[in-house]
Structure 1
Amino acid sequence: MSALWKELLVELNAVGLACIERGRDDAIEYLGLEPFINGFPDAPLAVLASKVGREELTWLGQKGATPQQIADAEERLGFRFPDTYREFLLESNGFLVPGTYCCVLLPVELVRKFGDDNAQIVAMWANAHAKDPLLDIEDVTYRMGDAIQVTAEPSDYDWFVLFDPINASPKGEPWTVMYSRQGYDCEETFLDLIQELVSSYQASFRR
């Protein structure tokens, strides 16, 4: 599987660099990186993000996480990461894809529970479930605070990539959820999400 991820990350990197080039005349906030840079200025990935648009970059990833770093994060969160996400982390401990709906794939030490920084959204869903008993308690929104957030919040919209803390997909991994104000979509694996991101932006570049 590592060979697949190596190839996919080369393609993801190309998408990120193409988005940077397309947005070269835009302010950095339009690439969705500013909240991450300001929130975690000492993180190596944030230092790299601060160079976007200012220096010529060739690689938007990081050195892979160690198995111990992954295990420490899983213990901290009380959650075992999906296999395809663990494989990604071993190849690159976080990744920048500026100007896309996954602008910053967080390094494992910054992965957090969604409720840690998004109490208002969690409360909104708790209130919705309290008022409407027909809402499915198996839905990811029922335990929104415990969902695992693996992307940083971009500056101009609130797309988040989350792992469902309740349910597994038919492929045996926790559902990978793309959540926004408009609702959410799910992919069966984290790998599926990244493949979809790459293919959708590659298609947009050809138009």
Structure 2
Amino acid sequence: MASSGRPRTAEQWRAHLTEYSADFLRVADADQRRELGDERVASGWLGFAGASPAALAAAEQRLGVGLPPGYRAFLQASDGWLEMSPFVWTMRTTADVGWLRDLEPEMIGAGDEDDELMARALLVSADADACFWLLDPGDVNDEGEWAAYVWASWYPGLGDRHDSFADLVAAERESFEELSARDGQAVEPDGAEEPVAEGRRLAAPGDTARQ
């Protein structure tokens, strides 16, 4: 892991996402399981095959910029994702990740203090509950990571600043665990090790393509 303990490489992302998949499926209700489908529930993997080098290169050429390393590694582990947080149901892929100004132009020019950031932000989330996950190419740390934010209709502006995409994912996972606990559901019950290990096996390189 990186110094922050967050996933940075594709292998680290696979391990992190496999554990998150197992956590989510342990507390998913019948409707969520039905929407995911029997095959995906049985696999224990909420993602897809990892993006190929060609797909990543094509996305970066289309965007005109190299993607931050942690987010790029996430796409290498899974090109898209389902149920990333309680309010984000799908993540964009290398084929449809893009600039907020192009994908949601009505969000730009509202006249508030976040306009400049919103106008340059990369939109990485897709289907969601009135919110967007954004990466800011104008705020880059020494490791090349872009600052990350959530814009949501229930905030007065952008939410908290996160140092990277991985930090945003970690914060949203904490929210998922807190919401599950309030619902009286144990996210990590005893006996969870075996399904997590099986999920790791299925998510190994070469196996993700069958999910």
TM-score normalised per structure 1: 0.70
Aligned to 1:57, the other structure's residue is in SS state helix
Amino acid in the other structure paired with 1:164: D
Q: Which residue of 1 aligns with 2:120?
A: 146
Alpha-carbon spacing, 1:143–1:198, altered in 2? closer, same or farther (3 Å)? closer
Once the two structures are TM-superposed, the CA of residue 192 in structure 1 deviates from its matched residue by 1.2
Check conservation: 1:16, 1:98, Cα contact below 8 A: no
Structure 2 gaps of 5+ residues are 1-8, 183-211
1:90 paired with 2:76, answer yes
1:58-73 mapped onto 2 (5 Å cutoff) = 58=41, 59-73=45-59
1:116-195 mapped onto 2 (5 Å cutoff) = 116-124=102-110, 128=111, 135=113, 141-154=115-128, 157-169=129-141, 172-181=144-153, 182=155, 183-184=157-158, 185-195=160-170
Aligned to 2:87, the other structure's residue is in SS state coil
**Cα distance between partner residues in 1 of 2:48 and 2:137:** 27
Deviations 1:142-161 (A, max 9, x none): 1423311111142xx32111
Alpha-carbon spacing, 1:153–1:3, altered in 2? closer, same or farther (3 Å)? closer
Q: Which residue of 2 aligns with 1:205?
A: 180
Q: Which residue of 2 aligns with 1:111?
A: 97
Deviations 1:115-156 (A, max 9, x none): 1232221021xxx16xxxxx4xxx5x31423311111142xx
Alpha-carbon spacing, 1:62–1:121, altered in 2? closer, same or farther (3 Å)? same
Larger relative contact order (CA 8 Å, sep ≥ 6): 2
**Cα distance between partner residues in 1 of 2:84 and 2:144:** 30
1:52 paired with 2:35, answer yes
Check conservation: 1:5, 1:88, Cα contact below 8 A: yes
1:3 paired with 2:11, answer yes
1:79 paired with 2:68, answer no
Aligned to 1:205, the other structure's residue is in SS state helix
Amino acid in the other structure paired with 1:160: F
